[in-house]
Amino acid sequence: MFPLVRISQNENRSIYITIENQCQPDQKDFDGLSSIVTGTLFTYSNRECLTVHKFLIILGSGYTARFLLPPASRQYAHVFATSRAPDRHLNHITPDRRIRFDLTQQSTWKNISTGTDLLWCFPATPPDLVQKFAVTLDPLSRRLVVLGSTSAYEVGGSREYPPPWIDETAPIDLTKPRVQGEEFLRTNCGAIVLRVAGIYGPGRNPIDWIRTGRVSPSRNYVNLIHVADLARICLATLEHGKPGEAYNVSDGTPRTWREIHETVSQHLSSASPAAAIDQQPGKRISTVKLGESFGPIIRHRDLYAELVKIEKE
Protein backbone atom coordinates (compact mmCIF):
# COMPACT_ATOMS: atom_id res chain seq x y z
CA MET A 1 0.00 0.00 0.00
CA PHE A 2 1.39 3.38 -0.98
CA PRO A 3 1.77 5.96 1.78
CA LEU A 4 -0.75 8.78 1.91
CA VAL A 5 0.78 12.18 2.63
CA ARG A 6 -1.33 14.92 4.16
CA ILE A 7 -0.05 18.49 4.49
CA SER A 8 -1.72 20.98 6.80
CA GLN A 9 -1.00 24.38 8.30
CA ASN A 10 -2.05 25.68 11.70
CA GLU A 11 -2.95 29.17 12.83
CA ASN A 12 0.71 29.90 13.60
CA ARG A 13 1.56 29.15 9.95
CA SER A 14 3.57 26.06 10.83
CA ILE A 15 3.45 23.23 8.31
CA TYR A 16 2.63 19.67 9.38
CA ILE A 17 3.04 16.52 7.33
CA THR A 18 1.26 13.29 8.27
CA ILE A 19 2.22 9.94 6.76
CA GLU A 20 -0.60 7.40 6.72
CA ASN A 21 -0.79 3.78 5.60
CA GLN A 22 2.93 3.30 6.14
CA CYS A 23 4.04 1.18 9.05
CA GLN A 24 7.68 2.17 9.30
CA PRO A 25 8.44 5.53 7.65
CA ASP A 26 12.12 6.35 7.35
CA GLN A 27 13.54 9.69 8.40
CA LYS A 28 15.12 9.92 4.94
CA ASP A 29 11.60 10.41 3.59
CA PHE A 30 11.68 13.85 5.19
CA ASP A 31 15.29 14.85 4.53
CA GLY A 32 15.55 18.25 2.92
CA LEU A 33 11.94 19.16 3.63
CA SER A 34 11.11 22.26 5.64
CA SER A 35 8.37 24.80 5.97
CA ILE A 36 9.00 27.70 3.61
CA VAL A 37 7.14 29.87 6.10
CA THR A 38 8.84 29.00 9.38
CA GLY A 39 11.68 26.67 8.44
CA THR A 40 10.27 24.13 10.89
CA LEU A 41 8.72 20.82 9.91
CA PHE A 42 6.81 18.54 12.27
CA THR A 43 6.58 14.93 11.12
CA TYR A 44 4.23 12.27 12.41
CA SER A 45 3.64 8.67 11.40
CA ASN A 46 0.41 6.72 11.76
CA ARG A 47 0.73 5.10 15.18
CA GLU A 48 -2.10 2.71 14.42
CA CYS A 49 0.48 0.50 12.71
CA LEU A 50 3.78 1.74 14.15
CA THR A 51 5.41 -0.67 16.58
CA VAL A 52 8.56 0.18 18.48
CA HIS A 53 10.28 -2.94 19.77
CA LYS A 54 10.64 -1.72 23.34
CA PHE A 55 9.07 -2.31 26.70
CA LEU A 56 6.91 0.18 28.59
CA ILE A 57 6.02 0.04 32.28
CA ILE A 58 3.15 2.17 33.56
CA LEU A 59 3.84 3.01 37.19
CA GLY A 60 0.57 3.52 39.02
CA SER A 61 -2.11 2.33 36.64
CA GLY A 62 -5.44 4.08 37.10
CA TYR A 63 -8.01 6.01 35.08
CA THR A 64 -5.60 7.36 32.46
CA ALA A 65 -3.86 4.01 31.99
CA ARG A 66 -7.10 2.35 30.88
CA PHE A 67 -7.19 4.64 27.87
CA LEU A 68 -3.45 4.52 27.36
CA LEU A 69 -3.04 0.76 27.15
CA PRO A 70 -4.56 0.10 23.69
CA PRO A 71 -2.50 2.70 21.77
CA ALA A 72 0.58 1.92 23.87
CA SER A 73 0.30 -1.72 22.85
CA ARG A 74 0.62 -0.63 19.24
CA GLN A 75 3.63 1.57 19.94
CA TYR A 76 5.45 -0.90 22.22
CA ALA A 77 6.07 -4.60 21.82
CA HIS A 78 5.15 -5.22 25.47
CA VAL A 79 3.34 -3.01 27.98
CA PHE A 80 3.35 -3.75 31.71
CA ALA A 81 1.60 -1.97 34.57
CA THR A 82 1.77 -1.63 38.33
CA SER A 83 -0.82 -0.73 40.94
CA ARG A 84 -1.11 -0.96 44.69
CA ALA A 85 -4.73 -2.06 44.10
CA PRO A 86 -4.33 -4.54 41.23
CA ASP A 87 -7.76 -6.13 41.61
CA ARG A 88 -9.37 -2.77 40.99
CA HIS A 89 -7.00 -1.09 38.54
CA LEU A 90 -5.36 -3.97 36.67
CA ASN A 91 -8.36 -6.19 35.96
CA HIS A 92 -8.11 -5.23 32.27
CA ILE A 93 -4.48 -6.41 32.12
CA THR A 94 -3.47 -10.05 31.92
CA PRO A 95 -1.57 -11.34 34.98
CA ASP A 96 1.65 -11.82 33.01
CA ARG A 97 1.71 -8.05 32.31
CA ARG A 98 1.29 -7.03 35.95
CA ILE A 99 4.31 -5.98 37.98
CA ARG A 100 4.37 -5.72 41.75
CA PHE A 101 5.70 -2.30 42.70
CA ASP A 102 5.15 0.00 45.63
CA LEU A 103 7.35 3.04 46.16
CA THR A 104 7.04 2.60 49.93
CA GLN A 105 8.31 -1.00 49.72
CA GLN A 106 11.92 -0.96 48.59
CA SER A 107 11.92 -4.73 48.10
CA THR A 108 9.69 -4.20 45.02
CA TRP A 109 11.98 -1.71 43.31
CA LYS A 110 14.05 -4.47 41.75
CA ASN A 111 10.99 -5.52 39.74
CA ILE A 112 11.43 -2.45 37.53
CA SER A 113 13.98 -3.71 35.04
CA THR A 114 16.47 -1.50 33.24
CA GLY A 115 16.06 -0.67 29.58
CA THR A 116 12.30 -0.18 29.84
CA ASP A 117 10.55 3.11 29.24
CA LEU A 118 8.58 4.37 32.23
CA LEU A 119 5.37 6.36 32.47
CA TRP A 120 5.06 7.56 36.08
CA CYS A 121 1.35 8.16 36.77
CA PHE A 122 1.16 8.50 40.56
CA PRO A 123 2.21 11.57 42.60
CA ALA A 124 6.01 11.64 42.92
CA THR A 125 6.02 11.74 46.69
CA PRO A 126 7.43 11.44 49.34
CA PRO A 127 10.53 13.16 47.92
CA ASP A 128 13.05 11.13 49.93
CA LEU A 129 11.77 7.83 48.55
CA VAL A 130 11.54 9.29 45.05
CA GLN A 131 15.21 10.24 45.26
CA LYS A 132 16.26 6.83 46.56
CA PHE A 133 14.26 5.00 43.90
CA ALA A 134 15.64 7.30 41.21
CA VAL A 135 19.15 6.06 41.96
CA THR A 136 18.08 2.62 40.69
CA LEU A 137 16.54 3.86 37.45
CA ASP A 138 19.60 4.12 35.17
CA PRO A 139 18.08 7.05 33.23
CA LEU A 140 20.49 6.67 30.30
CA SER A 141 18.87 3.35 29.36
CA ARG A 142 15.25 4.48 29.29
CA ARG A 143 12.74 7.25 28.59
CA LEU A 144 10.92 8.56 31.66
CA VAL A 145 7.72 10.60 31.55
CA VAL A 146 6.13 11.82 34.80
CA LEU A 147 2.52 12.96 35.07
CA GLY A 148 2.41 16.08 37.19
CA SER A 149 -0.25 18.71 37.65
CA THR A 150 -0.85 22.35 36.79
CA SER A 151 -1.29 22.83 40.54
CA ALA A 152 2.52 22.98 40.60
CA TYR A 153 2.37 26.62 39.53
CA GLU A 154 2.58 29.24 42.25
CA VAL A 155 -0.04 31.95 41.72
CA GLY A 156 0.24 33.58 45.14
CA GLY A 157 -2.59 35.82 46.23
CA SER A 158 -3.04 37.60 42.91
CA ARG A 159 -6.60 38.76 42.23
CA GLU A 160 -5.90 39.85 38.66
CA TYR A 161 -8.82 38.97 36.40
CA PRO A 162 -8.74 37.41 33.94
CA PRO A 163 -5.60 35.77 35.34
CA PRO A 164 -2.43 35.95 33.23
CA TRP A 165 -1.45 33.08 30.98
CA ILE A 166 0.89 30.57 32.61
CA ASP A 167 3.55 28.86 30.54
CA GLU A 168 6.32 26.47 31.54
CA THR A 169 8.62 29.31 32.64
CA ALA A 170 6.23 30.41 35.42
CA PRO A 171 7.35 29.88 39.04
CA ILE A 172 6.43 26.56 40.62
CA ASP A 173 5.69 25.90 44.28
CA LEU A 174 8.65 23.92 45.60
CA THR A 175 7.11 23.75 49.07
CA LYS A 176 4.82 21.01 47.73
CA PRO A 177 6.34 17.52 48.18
CA ARG A 178 4.94 16.33 44.85
CA VAL A 179 6.58 19.20 43.00
CA GLN A 180 9.86 18.49 44.78
CA GLY A 181 9.73 14.88 43.59
CA GLU A 182 8.88 15.84 40.01
CA GLU A 183 11.65 18.41 39.84
CA PHE A 184 14.21 15.96 41.21
CA LEU A 185 13.29 13.46 38.51
CA ARG A 186 13.34 16.15 35.82
CA THR A 187 16.66 17.74 36.77
CA ASN A 188 18.55 14.63 37.88
CA CYS A 189 17.09 11.82 35.76
CA GLY A 190 16.14 13.59 32.56
CA ALA A 191 12.45 12.96 33.21
CA ILE A 192 9.93 14.75 31.05
CA VAL A 193 7.25 16.25 33.29
CA LEU A 194 3.74 16.74 31.95
CA ARG A 195 1.88 19.34 34.01
CA VAL A 196 -1.61 18.09 33.40
CA ALA A 197 -4.87 20.01 33.72
CA GLY A 198 -8.09 18.47 35.03
CA ILE A 199 -8.72 15.12 33.34
CA TYR A 200 -12.20 14.29 32.10
CA GLY A 201 -13.74 11.64 29.88
CA PRO A 202 -16.03 8.61 30.09
CA GLY A 203 -16.75 7.93 33.74
CA ARG A 204 -15.27 11.25 34.83
CA ASN A 205 -17.78 13.99 34.09
CA PRO A 206 -17.16 17.66 35.09
CA ILE A 207 -20.92 18.22 35.06
CA ASP A 208 -21.19 15.84 38.00
CA TRP A 209 -18.64 17.95 39.85
CA ILE A 210 -21.05 20.88 39.60
CA ARG A 211 -24.14 18.79 40.39
CA THR A 212 -22.63 17.41 43.58
CA GLY A 213 -21.29 20.75 44.77
CA ARG A 214 -17.65 19.73 44.41
CA VAL A 215 -17.24 22.95 42.41
CA SER A 216 -19.53 25.95 42.14
CA PRO A 217 -20.46 27.88 38.97
CA SER A 218 -18.04 30.68 39.79
CA ARG A 219 -15.81 32.99 37.77
CA ASN A 220 -12.90 30.72 38.65
CA TYR A 221 -11.01 29.59 35.53
CA VAL A 222 -10.47 25.88 34.96
CA ASN A 223 -8.32 24.02 32.44
CA LEU A 224 -9.32 20.56 31.20
CA ILE A 225 -7.96 17.77 29.00
CA HIS A 226 -9.80 14.76 27.57
CA VAL A 227 -8.27 11.50 28.76
CA ALA A 228 -7.87 10.21 25.19
CA ASP A 229 -5.84 13.29 24.28
CA LEU A 230 -3.75 12.86 27.42
CA ALA A 231 -3.00 9.26 26.46
CA ARG A 232 -1.93 10.38 22.99
CA ILE A 233 0.30 13.09 24.45
CA CYS A 234 1.93 10.64 26.85
CA LEU A 235 2.95 8.38 23.99
CA ALA A 236 4.13 11.26 21.82
CA THR A 237 6.23 12.52 24.71
CA LEU A 238 7.75 9.10 25.31
CA GLU A 239 8.78 8.99 21.67
CA HIS A 240 9.61 12.60 20.84
CA GLY A 241 9.81 14.60 24.10
CA LYS A 242 13.05 16.29 25.08
CA PRO A 243 14.57 14.89 28.30
CA GLY A 244 14.53 17.32 31.20
CA GLU A 245 11.69 19.41 29.76
CA ALA A 246 8.26 20.22 31.17
CA TYR A 247 5.12 20.59 29.08
CA ASN A 248 1.72 21.99 30.01
CA VAL A 249 -1.10 19.65 28.99
CA SER A 250 -4.57 21.08 28.43
CA ASP A 251 -7.02 21.45 25.57
CA GLY A 252 -5.76 25.03 25.29
CA THR A 253 -9.06 26.75 26.13
CA PRO A 254 -9.48 27.86 29.75
CA ARG A 255 -13.11 28.34 30.76
CA THR A 256 -14.89 29.51 33.88
CA TRP A 257 -17.08 27.13 35.85
CA ARG A 258 -19.93 29.58 35.37
CA GLU A 259 -19.51 29.43 31.60
CA ILE A 260 -19.44 25.64 31.65
CA HIS A 261 -22.57 25.43 33.81
CA GLU A 262 -24.55 27.97 31.78
CA THR A 263 -23.60 26.45 28.43
CA VAL A 264 -24.28 22.88 29.47
CA SER A 265 -27.60 23.84 31.09
CA GLN A 266 -28.89 24.82 27.65
CA HIS A 267 -28.48 21.24 26.45
CA LEU A 268 -28.74 19.06 29.54
CA SER A 269 -30.82 18.95 32.68
CA SER A 270 -28.80 19.36 35.83
CA ALA A 271 -29.48 19.82 39.50
CA SER A 272 -29.20 23.29 40.92
CA PRO A 273 -25.60 23.79 41.98
CA ALA A 274 -24.42 25.31 45.19
CA ALA A 275 -24.25 29.08 45.23
CA ALA A 276 -21.02 30.52 43.87
CA ILE A 277 -18.57 31.79 46.42
CA ASP A 278 -15.75 34.28 46.05
CA GLN A 279 -12.67 32.36 44.96
CA GLN A 280 -9.24 32.90 43.53
CA PRO A 281 -9.43 33.68 39.79
CA GLY A 282 -7.86 30.35 38.87
CA LYS A 283 -5.31 29.85 36.11
CA ARG A 284 -5.14 30.12 32.36
CA ILE A 285 -2.68 27.49 31.21
CA SER A 286 -0.76 28.10 27.99
CA THR A 287 -0.14 25.13 25.70
CA VAL A 288 1.91 26.95 23.07
CA LYS A 289 4.98 24.83 23.83
CA LEU A 290 2.97 21.62 23.52
CA GLY A 291 1.71 22.63 20.09
CA GLU A 292 5.11 23.75 18.89
CA SER A 293 6.69 20.49 20.06
CA PHE A 294 4.10 17.93 18.94
CA GLY A 295 1.91 19.66 16.39
CA PRO A 296 -1.91 19.46 16.29
CA ILE A 297 -2.22 16.60 18.78
CA ILE A 298 -5.43 17.70 20.56
CA ARG A 299 -8.51 16.09 19.01
CA HIS A 300 -11.14 16.81 21.67
CA ARG A 301 -11.28 20.61 21.66
CA ASP A 302 -15.07 20.96 21.79
CA LEU A 303 -15.64 20.46 25.51
CA TYR A 304 -19.40 20.85 25.32
CA ALA A 305 -19.81 18.29 22.54
CA GLU A 306 -17.73 15.86 24.58
CA LEU A 307 -19.78 16.47 27.72
CA VAL A 308 -22.99 15.75 25.83
CA LYS A 309 -21.47 12.45 24.66
CA ILE A 310 -20.45 11.55 28.20
CA GLU A 311 -23.93 12.35 29.53
CA LYS A 312 -25.50 10.02 26.97
CA GLU A 313 -23.22 7.08 27.80
CATH number of the domain residue 85 falls in: 3.40.50.720
Pair 240, 167 in one domain: yes
- Residue 127: asked if its preceding bond is cis (omega within 30°), the reply is no
Pair 194, 228 in one domain: yes
Alpha-carbon distance 85 to 83, whole Å? 5
In-domain check, residue 114: yes
Alpha-carbon distance 187 to 245, whole Å? 9
H/E stretch holding 80: strand 76-82
Query: How high is the pLDDT of residue 14?
Result: 40
In-domain check, residue 217: no
In-domain check, residue 135: yes
Query: How high is the pLDDT of residue 268?
Result: 65
Pair 129, 111 in one domain: yes
Pair 161, 180 in one domain: yes
Pair 75, 150 in one domain: yes
Q: Which domain holds residue 18?
A: 4-45
Query: How high is the pLDDT of residue 276?
Result: 55
Q: Can you count the helices (H) and strands (E) in the chain? A: 9, 16
In-domain check, residue 125: yes
Pair 10, 62 in one domain: no
| Per-position DSSP letters for 122-167, written without gaps between them | S---SHHHHHHHHTTS-GGGS-EEEEEEGGGB--TT---SSPPEE-
Pair 22, 162 in one domain: no
Q: How many domains does the chain have?
A: 2
Residue 294, CA distances (Å) to 36, 42, 104, 232, 299 in order: 19, 7, 35, 10, 13
In-domain check, residue 306: no
Pair 83, 176 in one domain: yes
Pair 146, 19 in one domain: no
Q: Which residues of the chain have pLDDT under 50?
A: 1-53
Pair 244, 151 in one domain: yes
Residue of 142, 58, 61, 187 lying closest to 179 (CA atoms):
187
In-domain check, residue 213: no
In-domain check, residue 235: yes
Pair 28, 102 in one domain: no
Alpha carbon 183 to its chain centroid, in Å, reads 17
Query: How high is the pLDDT of residue 217?
Result: 87
Pair 26, 124 in one domain: no
